[in-house]
Structure 1
Amino acid sequence: MAEPDMLLNRGRYRARLAASAADVAAAQALRAQCFRSGCTDSDAFDSECCHVLVEEQPGGALVCCFRLLLLESGAELARSYSAQFYDLTALQAFEGRMAELGRFCIHPNWQDADILRVAWGAMTGLVDGQGVQMLFGCSSFAGISAAPYAEALALLRQRHLAPAQWRPGIKAPEVVCFGAEPLREAETKKALQKMPPLLRTYLLMGGWVSDHAVVDRQMNTLHVFTGLEIGAIPDTRKRLLRAVAGGD
């Protein structure tokens, strides 16, 4: 019989919902390792979210985690983590269910691409099961200097800006506006390499971004607001995700 909190069991990895305070603490410890150089990472949003753990099996090592906050519509966006950093007035008109993806991280010692596939498969199952119509969150570039990511940020502006009807406005006191210079082909390849894997996956599925990044000195990251309308995901991509979500 399947465990009640199991979301996906595929090959070397399994994804499950956190079922105890110890599970949440394990996720917080991994987040601290990835985002805060060993300091603790917990906040008031943890108690409002469901937490997903991706573990290696049979050993049970935690290799990836993320949290999801379910909102009934855009009218509830003030409850989200992202609302601290972005003016989300435009998105408040979104009428469908939304889910905020947060604190997504993969253990730095694990480089297997299947980890990301299993995480997205588990996320797909949750999104489908809850009738979510938009997934959103903050994609993070490591560090607070925009210079290493100039090409990546320019590419986001060039190809992936949010539709005007949903575009987040500036709210944070310290932001980086994206460069407007068109990129050459070699620069485009470099730009994609500089993007976090989570953000690249969003974009492959038709996701879009804000026109600026937020400088978060506490987390030592640059945040980029990222949105994905579930109905806009290409059919071929949906089939691949749902095939993974089906498990073994």
Structure 2
Amino acid sequence: MAGSGILSPMKIVRKITPNKLAGRPAPRWIPQAMLGKMPEAGQSLGKVGPLEVRLSNGAKELKMSQRLRFDVFYKEMSAIADAQTQLTRLDRDSYDDICDHMLVVDHNSQVRNKPFSKLKPQIVGTYRLLRQELAELNGGFYTASEFDIQRILDRHSDLNFMELGRSCVLKPYRTKKTVELLWHGIWSYVLMHNVDVMIGCASIEGTDPDLLAQQLSFLHHFASAPEEWQVAALPDQYVDMNRIAKDKVDQRAALRSLPPLIKGYLRLGAFIGDGAVIDHQFGTTDVLIIMPVSKLNSRYINYYGQDASRYAS
């Protein structure tokens, strides 16, 4: 706000992570070279050294990504496993079968899925992608269980939505290189499927909103979606994010304390929905991420390449 001394979230991010951002939104376009090139199972979407980003290839790799998610969500973090999850040691649900699964694999780390099986590159990161046409054929988006996203689906019925979810990376690989590869793969996928809007739940660890007051209030005051993109948490799950007055929020401290994934979304130009949701199973407080492709930060688009060529294999 001009003259108020309060910095916008994008200015705060720029000051903390210099040379990462630019202010101009990107125009909506799809390069002609990308049209009609649909990604296939197992198709490589980029490489950096021994690391490769690609789509999963069949049931075995899906199971390996579910095991990775179990290790991160249930063993490292505070998710509570039901009996079936504990028995299988897999994080899975009914959405897995209708989603594409973006993987980062390390060709220098070979593992066996089962004893005496063939060595395969280790899966070290994963993202779950659900396109609107598949969601509508199978009961809708996972996000609709927490947020009233039908409001923006109806308002922007001419646009093509995609849901991002179940993002996780093994701890030793939580580096800039791995995250960049994942986003390079997602950008390639967005172009190939002509996606207009990305949505999804992003999590802050912890289930006491009062202990998360700085983060939630920061997102509410400085990253809230404009009216045309506004969506609220479902009434029976709604948690007010406006817990600290705008002029009392320590913006730098709040931003630093946010999970890297949410900070990354803000750098890209994401909006935040109205209200949070407590996910007791995963031990998190969820916020809604809304990323219209037309509003993505132009510097990031230029960085990965207008045709997703930066890390092309």
Residue number in structure 2 paired with 1:22:
60
Residue number in structure 2 paired with 1:42:
92
Aligned to 1:54, the other structure's residue is in SS state: strand
Identical residues among aligned pairs (%): 24
Instruction: Pick from 99, 109, 126 the counterpart of residue 65 of structure 1.
Output: 126
Aligned to 1:212, the other structure's residue is in SS state: coil
Instruction: Pick from 151, 157, 174 the counterpart of residue 90 of structure 1.
Output: 151
1:44 maps to a residue whose letter is S
Residue number in structure 2 paired with 1:222:
285
Whichever of the two has the greater Rg, that structure is 2
Residue-by-residue CA offset, 1:194-214 (whole Å, 9 max, x unaligned): 212221111112110112110
Aligned to 1:57, the other structure's residue is in SS state: strand
Instruction: Pick from 245, 264, 277 the counterpart of residue 181 of structure 1.
Output: 245
Residue number in structure 1 paired with 2:115:
none
CA distance in 1, matches of 2:69, 2:262: 17
1:62-141 mapped onto 2 (5 Å cutoff): 62-72=123-133, 79-92=140-153, 93-94=155-156, 95-141=158-204
Residue number in structure 2 paired with 1:54:
104
Aligned to 1:117, the other structure's residue is in SS state: helix
Aligned to 1:224, the other structure's residue is in SS state: strand
Instruction: Pick from 262, 265, 269 the counterpart of residue 206 of structure 1.
Output: 269
Q: CA 1:47–1:75 in 2, change beyond 3 Å: closer, same or farther?
A: closer
Structure 2 residue 207 is matched with structure 1 residue 144: yes
2:122 maps to a residue whose letter is A
Residue number in structure 1 paired with 2:4:
none
Tell me, yes or no, if the aligned pair for 1:90 and 1:165 is still in contact at 8 Å. Answer: no
Q: CA 1:88–1:19 in 2, change beyond 3 Å: closer, same or farther?
A: same
Structure 2 residue 222 is matched with structure 1 residue 159: yes
CA distance in 2, matches of 1:82, 1:173: 15
Deviation at 1:75, TM superposition (A): 7.5
Deviation at 1:154, TM superposition (A): 1.1
Deviation at 1:108, TM superposition (A): 2.4
1:4-23 mapped onto 2 (5 Å cutoff): 5-23=43-61
Aligned to 1:87, the other structure's residue is in SS state: coil
Quick check: which one's strand share is greater?
1
Aligned to 1:118, the other structure's residue is in SS state: helix
Q: CA 1:151–1:183 in 2, change beyond 3 Å: closer, same or farther?
A: farther
Following superposition, which runs of at least 4 residues in structure 1 exceed 6 angstroms of deviation?
73-77
Q: CA 1:36–1:194 in 2, change beyond 3 Å: closer, same or farther?
A: same
Q: Under a length normalisation based on structure 2, what TM-score does the superposition of the two structures give?
A: 0.72
CA distance in 1, matches of 2:276, 2:135: 21
Q: How many residues align?
A: 245
Tell me, yes or no, if the aligned pair for 2:191 and 2:307 is still in contact at 8 Å. Answer: no
Q: CA 1:231–1:72 in 2, change beyond 3 Å: closer, same or farther?
A: farther
Q: Under a length normalisation based on structure 1, what TM-score does the superposition of the two structures give?
A: 0.89
User: Unpaired segments of 5 or more residues in structure 1?
Assistant: none
Choose between structure 1 and 2 for higher RCO, CA contacts under 8 A separated by at least 6 residues.
Answer: 2
Deviation at 1:236, TM superposition (A): 1.8
Tell me, yes or no, if the aligned pair for 2:95 and 2:142 is still in contact at 8 Å. Answer: yes
1:229-240 mapped onto 2 (5 Å cutoff): 229-240=292-303
